[in-house]
Structure 1
Amino acid sequence: MSSASVPTAPRPEKRPVVRSHHGDTFEDPYEWLREKDSPEVVAHLEAENAHTDAALAHLEPLRERIFQEIKGRVRETDLSLPSRRGQWWYYGRTIAGKQYGVQCRAPIAGPDDWTPPQLSAEVEVPGEQVLLDSNAEAEGHEFFSLGSFDVSKDGTLMLWAVDVAGDERYTIRIKDLTTGEILPDVIEGTFSGAHFLPGGTHIVYTTVDDAWRPDRAWLHPVGTAGREADREIYRDDDERFWVGAGVTRSDRFLVVESGSSITSEVALLDAATVATDPDAKPQVVWPRREGVEYGVDHAVIDGEDWLYILHNDGALDFELVRARVGAPDVVETVIPHEPGRRLEDVDCFRDFAVVEYRREGLTRVALLDYRTHALTEIEFDEPLFAVGLGGNPEWAPPVLRLGFGSFTTPGSVFEYVLDSGELVLRRQVEVLGGYDPADYDQARLWVTAQDGTRIPVSLVWKRSFGEPGSAPRPVHLYGYGSYEHSIDPAFSVARLSELDRGIVFAVAHVRGGGELGRQWYEDGKLQAKRNTFTDFVDVARHLVENGYTTPDRLVAEGGSAGGLLMGAITNLAPELFAGILADVPFVDALTTILDPSLPLTVIEWDEWGDPLHDPAVYEYMKSYSPYENVREGVTYPRILAMTSLNDTRVMYVEPAKWVARLRDVGADALFKCEMVAGHGGVSGRYNSWRERAFQLAWLFDVLGVADA
């Protein structure tokens, strides 16, 4: 399509709304776009979509080519590795042409059958039962998300919960697997993560308040319609805390957890009696104390009940202690605090525990001996990798499932044989089209930030194009840097379309993430948040100054809080980037965090600060919030912002306002709003592949490799 046939970019009318806090006044011309149900707002969003479609119409052949590349690398009809629970092997199927997976099971051969069967998509599985076909569930809906799926311990009942709008509010249903009957239970407005209690007579689920905060846990008697018979077992009125509930692997306790970004509290109920005892009250393990986080699991050692408690009370990178049930304040240290070794999780089994932690920026998994407290780390020989505990529902398994992957190794499932210490590869995602990991390489480099801090940067590339840094190459630089969330090495089929065109993919592990422990997070939040942005700029500048790339061949990408990073670096150093891909971007951060009536705002004060009541926080946030800091008189990189109308975490209005403001200063900014989707974008694997192809085609065009 010629530029002359591309319609003029939408320019929403300016209707100033004055915002005044702490003596500062800000005139917001586009706040009226927040009226989601307004026909005028919907018309504007549709006009934005039409403009973006027209502006990028010339990339349609490239988008289709990328989509076919992704599709051609995936075995569309496949089965996952079966996982044993009770008398069954559970697994998932994917079927060519179908958007969603199918949940299945097949009977075990006998009690000693722990070797997963070698299932084939082409051969009928003896005794297979199809439990849930999400394609059938999704029929007639533009969006579909499965938020809960569980089978009772005896294998006779199944629950599932579905969202067909994208707002992460799910409807639970229950099926009798012995008769095929759908029970009368229909529980609407729930959050994700519902589970059966061990006896199968009740389920536990959570609901959200008006601010989309999970605030209550409920017990529902199986076989009853609606919620009239349901019993509230826990409620947290503190607007900063999220509530979750589950059952220990031992089946001994129903655990209710309540946590904010910096504080947590765990309460236990007897899983065997809570359903029949209307007076049962959750017993708090440790009363909440501001700034103290902890998690609890249950073990039985020599017939005695113990609680294993992972906490950060006086231990920045956490330590592991244990206490007898009934005496949680009398603790014994199991794994002492060690700076730089960030303990992240503990899972108790009958004969051992598994501890997951970070060291030197990478994830680790180790077995813990209950009696000696010795740790046995399971080792892998790649320079960059991610490993974690896989699906291990059984209390006393002879093998331990682990998930493993890297930038060059497709997602893999290993089994660690407990008796021998042997590590057995059970499954690796098959990449079609002749993928050879030896054709690609990965490495980590360290960039010195302006304050002297060393920032880790991960690189992955195709060897045939030469070593990164040997000559300027197109670079795709990704970042996040919030909530102690780490961007760990992971394989991506879609990314191969980049690498095969000579693009170097890089991840800037900036402060605010969790790659280097809790201090790394602390140094990129609240009043230190600007470190996240300057770290990313310093990495980009290093890549340019050291010959890895040039500004006209560098595109940055981030989503959600990483979208805030994108907006901030666009204002800080627009000259360093050719393009910015911002997905569900949190770019109107100050407006959002000032309004406690909006979903999640109060919860977020622990992460960003409270600008509503603290003038210093207000001033600091206003200094970096992307929307307020769009600059006149600069040349901005090309920008593509994408969002979803029904996103409850980062509302569509933020990128809508940001793009409008960018256009005011002459920026080449495009905006695409999925009208039926959620925070994670569109649903369905083919739809998600097409969405990624849309983004990559734009990225290739910016980097000058659209014809490659």
Structure 2
Amino acid sequence: MSQSIITAPIANQKAHTLSHHGHDRIDNYYWMRDDERQAPEVIAHLEAENRYCEAMLEPSKALQQQVFAELKARIVKDDSSVPVKDGQYWYVSEVAGDNEYPSFCRADNAEMVNKVLLLDVNQLAAGHDFYDLGELLVSPNEEILAYSEDTDSRRIYTVKFKDLNTGALLADELHNTEGQVVWANDNQTVYYVKKDLQTLLGSQVYRHTLGSPQSDDELVYEEEDKQFFLGLGKSRDETQIFIYLSATETTDVLVLAADDSKAEVKRLFARQTGHEFGLERIHGQYFILTNLEAKNFRLMTADDNTIATPHLWQERIAHRDAVLLEGIELFNDQFVMTEREKGQTRFVVHSYQGDSFQLNFNDDCYYAGIGLNPEAASAVVRISYSSLTTPFSIFDVDLVTGQKTLRKQQQVLGEFNSKDYGSERIYVSALDGAEIPVSLVYKKSLFQQDGTNPLLQYGYGAYGITLDPSFSSSVLSLLDRGFVYAIAHVRGSEMLGRQWYEQGKKAHKQNTFSDFITVTRALVAKGYGAKDKIFASGGSAGGLLMGAIVNQAPELYCGVGVHVPFLDVLTTMLDESIPLTTNEYDEWGNPNYPEDYKTILAYSPYDNIKVQAYPNILVTTGLHDSQVQYWEPMKWVAKLRAHKTDDNLLLFKTDMDAGHGGASGRFKSLEEKALEFAFFIQLANSNNV
């Protein structure tokens, strides 16, 4: 394929000066921002980029279709979740045939005999180019279903209610919400968070009574500090409704009595900048997972008399330098702690009397997580488990004996055999001597560690989010063609504890990019990948990572996938009208301060584009993205075209219907994955698509 066949879209340049702290930046593509997403010049340019992308990838169309067919063929068309007991019913989700969306049902027993359909999402999604089901929550008396839906991919949800006795929708509709609802115990009152339609932040909690118009809803709490996200929950003992307030480095929780439909908001203890915690309640006790004097957190308990005074809290599990406490699940007779040590998750079951035991797993690197456990009275804890070679598995674990019972394992259609694939965890020394974990998977018969395999390296590295190595049936299409797949657990995650996160944020953000580049060089040096067949991929904050590495070390990569990417960091973080900006000062820094401005300026991908050769690049976004605005990749691509000195591909595809999460539906989303994989495969086969 040659770029000479069709001319790449060249964007108009309109100089716009941005001045801060005595420093001027000239942004020739600032005009591409259109909050209404209707400007003819913007839409025309995006459509031109889409046509160019399609034309340039036309020769790989057959390969895209082949890969898509492979991805789809591995998925069981008729499938269901493991039934979950909640109250007097057992609940399950089901997918069938070529349907894109699930149906939700319930029955009187685990065998799902005489099951009743609650909601068919395929019917709800009919006629919509995009559909996302948010919350799905049955009232305490199990007679009314509340659910939320987003039909334009901006994560602005409408809440609706269904009478499960008659099947009829109630007249109530709650518009412009975050999508969450929590029922009070009277089965008539719900709480929800309303969104600011400009910043898309939720700062107001409202109380709604069924049968009344939304205009009559009562504002019960409003957060003035725009650095905080709001969320809702209910205590494990169902006595309290929680209002969660979360900034990057500070947590707060307010409560309302769940039995009082006119309850007033109560603060449990004073907000403290830098205090992060998780809170639950059972048996009249609060369990607080806190970072007070504990970087990796410790577990404390308090009662109604001591909760307001943190120095009176009782320590239940002490802080450990090498162990990160990640979460807690409370049951009537036991509680389960999620811990992480040396990058690996484990579960420890504790009795309230002080006894404990640990649940162990056999793989060298894996994912494990607490599943759905809606009933505190349960004698088992449901967990999910997966590794790079083990499909997702659901276990029920006896809380007394620790015995695991496999309830279901993801079925992979075709000739898949987990024994055909190898997985390992290695460590790479960073520039400053830190040891970076890397998870690897490959097909044994196609891998020799002799520097001949193509390799795809994935990364994220932000917000303390840890990408545990889990199974992906999609990746098999690469592994079966000889690719090695690597996850670089760079700083910015919490893979190696809280300090691993802190070393990859704000003033230390460059560590994230340097770690990823260092891992690439090490994998080539160790023979895991061919130096001319190295690929990289990342999305959102991982897209920022991709934008940084192609500026800083473009020669290392043959091709890069850059998805819904955060690229114009400085301009975005200086504009408080853009969704998420104010909430993220503690992640990236606040460029209204000169030192933070300099830090971000030094790595911001858009500001650091150079006159140099770049690898082949595939960029994807959604026009309605509410997390990272479409104009960030649009501007970045336009500026790259004006600066790059190579003939490599630079392709930009915008889904004109989708948002940050990409296409909705279980099969439609596979088309996006097939596009990227075909891009990499053809480059690996020819190095000249």
* TM-score bucket (shorter structure): over 0.9
Q: Name the CA distance, whole Å, in 1 between partners of 2:390 and 2:294.
A: 34
| % identical equivalent positions | 39
Is residue 217 of structure 1 aligned with residue 205 of structure 2?
A: yes
SS at match of 1:704: helix
The residue matched to 2:91 in structure 1 has which SS?
A: strand
Q: Which residue number in structure 1 is paired with residue 530 of structure 2? A: 550
- Cα displacement string for residues 370-398 of structure 1 (whole angstroms, at most 9, x for unaligned residues): 122x4322111111111111101012012
Paired amino acid for 2:372 = G
The aligned counterpart of 2:107 is 106
Q: Does 1:606 align with 2:607?
A: no
Tell me, yes or no, if the aligned pair for 2:532 and 2:558 is still in contact at 8 Å.
Answer: yes
Q: Which moved further from structure 2: 694-703 or 309-318?
A: 694-703
Q: Distance in 2 between matches of 1:434 and 1:652?
A: 40
Q: Distance in 2 between matches of 1:591 and 1:77?
A: 47
CA distance in 2, matches of 1:392, 1:181: 29
For residue 589 of structure 1, what is the amino acid of its counterpart? V
Counterpart in 1 of 2:254? 267
Residues 127 and 223 (structure 1 numbering): CA distance in 2 closer, same or farther, change over 3 Å? Answer: farther
Partner of 1:472: 452
Per-residue CA deviations over 1:436-468 (Å, capped at 9, x if unaligned) read 11011110111111111111111001111134x
The CA distance in 2 between the partners of 1:78 and 1:560, in whole Å, is 30
Q: Is the 8 A contact 1:571 1:631 kept in 2?
A: yes
Give the aligned partner of residue 39 of structure 1. 40
Question: 1:371 aligned to 2:359?
Answer: no
Q: Residue 198 of structure 1 corresponds to which residue in structure 2? A: 185
Structure 2 counterpart of 1:334, from 316, 333, 354: 316
Amino acid at match of 1:104: C
Could you tell me which residue of structure 2 aligns to residue 625 of structure 1?
Answer: 604
Q: In the alignment, does 2:299 pair up with 1:320?
A: yes
C-alpha displacement of 1:350: 1.4
Aligned to 2:267: 284
CA contact (8 A) 1:107 1:128 kept: yes
Q: CA deviation at 1:705?
A: 7.3
Distance apart, 1:706 and its partner CA: 10
**For structure 1, which segment, 659-668 or 181-190, has the greater mean C-alpha deviation from structure 2 after superposition?**
659-668
Partners of 1:387 and 1:587 lie apart in 2 by 32
**Structure 2 SS opposite 1:414:** strand
Matches of 1:139 and 1:311, distance apart in 2: 45
Distance 1:571 1:706, change over 3 A: closer
Query: Is the 8 Å Cα contact of residues 130 and 663 (structure 2) preserved in structure 1?
Result: yes
Q: Which runs of 5+ in 1 are unaligned?
A: 109-115, 118-124
1:644 aligns with 622
CA deviation after TM superposition for structure 1 residue 340, in Å:
2.0
Is the CA contact (8 Å cut-off) linking 1:73 and 1:431 kept in structure 2?
A: yes
Equivalence map 1:479-628=2 (5 Å): 479-612=459-592, 614-628=593-607
User: 1:376, 1:188 → 2: CA distance?
Assistant: 47
Q: Structure 2 CA distance, aligned partners of 1:162 and 1:706?
A: 44
Residues 16-71 of structure 1, C-alpha deviations (whole Å, 9 max, x = no match):
10001111111000010012321110010000000000000111111111111111
How far off its partner does 1:345 sit?
Answer: 1.3
TM-fit CA distance, 1:420: 3.1
So what's the TM-score if we normalise by structure 1? Answer: 0.94
Partner of 2:7: 8
Shift of 1:681: 0.4
Q: What number of residue pairs does the alignment pair up?
A: 680
Cα offset, 1:246, TM superposition: 1.1
Report Cα offsets for 1:256-290 as digits up to 9, x if no partner. Answer: 111100001111221111x1x3xx32222221111
- Is the Cα contact below 8 Å between 2:469 and 2:487 reproduced in 1? no
Q: Tell me what 1:396 maps to.
A: 377
Tell me which residue corresponds to 2:336.
Answer: 354
Aligned residue for 1:587, secondary structure, equals coil
Deviates more, 1:13-22 or 1:261-270: 261-270
Letter of the 2:483 counterpart: I
**d(CA) in 2 for partners of 1:607 and 1:126?**
50
CA contact (8 A) 1:551 1:575 kept: no
Other structure's SS at 1:194 match: strand
Q: Which residue of 2 aligns with 1:663?
A: 641
Whether the 8 Å CA contact 1:204–1:246 is kept in 2: the answer is: no
Q: CA deviation at 1:235?
A: 1.5
In 2, the alpha carbon distance for the partners of 1:404 and 1:265 equals 31
The Cα of 1:702 is off from its aligned counterpart by: 1.9
Contact 1:476 1:555 in 2 (8 A): yes
Aligned to 1:96: 97
Q: Distance in 2 between matches of 1:433 and 1:145?
A: 30
Deviation at 1:686, TM superposition (A): 1.2
Amino acid at match of 1:466: F
Change (3 A) 1:369 1:706: farther
Q: Is 1:233 the equivalent of 2:220? A: yes
Displacement of 1:349 in angstroms is: 1.7
**Of 212-221 and 60-69, the range deviating more from structure 2:** 212-221
Structure 1 residue matching 2:19: 3-state secondary structure:
strand
* Post-superposition offset of 1:3: 5.3
Task: Report the alpha carbon displacement of residue 403 of structure 1 after superposing the two structures with TM.
Answer: 0.9
Give the Cα–Cα distance (whole angstroms) in 1 for the partners of residues 568 and 659 of structure 2.
Answer: 18
Distance 1:313 1:200, change over 3 A: same
Q: Which residue number corresponds to residue 250 of structure 1?
A: 237
How far apart in 2 are the matches of 1:141 and 1:253?
37
Q: 1:176 aligns with which of 147, 158, 163?
A: 163
1:201 Cα offset (Å): 1.6
Residue identity in the other structure for 2:303: R
Query: Is contact 1:501-1:705 (8 Å) kept?
Result: no
Closer, same or farther: CA 201–689 of 1 in aligned 2, 3 Å: same
1:165: how far off?
0.2
- Measure, in 2, the Cα distance between the counterparts of 1:417 and 1:371: 17
Instruction: Give ranges in structure 2 of 5+ residues lacking alignment.
Output: none
1:598 maps to amino acid: I
Question: Where has structure 1 moved over 6 Å in runs of 4 or more?
Answer: none
Q: Which secondary structure does the structure 2 equivalent of 1:382 belong to?
A: coil
Matched, 1:654 2:644: no
Q: Distance between the aligned counterparts of 1:570 and 1:581, measured in 2?
A: 11
Secondary structure class of the residue paired with 1:590: helix
Residue 234 to residue 347, structure 1, CA distance change in 2 (3 Å): farther
Structure 2-normalised TM-score? 0.97
Quick check: 1:185 aligned with 2:157? no
Secondary structure of 1:685's partner?
Answer: coil
Corresponding residue number in structure 2 for 1:77? 78
Residue 198 of structure 1: how far off its partner (Å): 3.2
Q: Match of 1:30? A: 29
In the TM superposition, what whole-angstrom CA distance separates every residue of 1:64-123 from its partner, at most 9, and x where no partner exists?
Answer: 111111111111111111111111110011011111111111112xxxxxxx43xxxxxx
* 1:680 maps to which of 632, 657, 661: 661
* Contact 1:250/1:349 (8 A) holds in 2: no
- 2:411 is matched with which residue? 430
Change (3 A) 1:705 1:354: farther
Are the counterparts in 2 of residues 482 and 524 from structure 1 also a CA contact under 8 Å? yes
Cα displacement (A) at 1:308: 0.5
CA distance in 2, matches of 1:595, 1:91: 44
Partner Cα separation in structure 2 for residue 642 and residue 494 of structure 1: 18
- One-letter identity of the residue aligned with 1:417: D
How many angstroms does 1:240 deviate by?
0.2
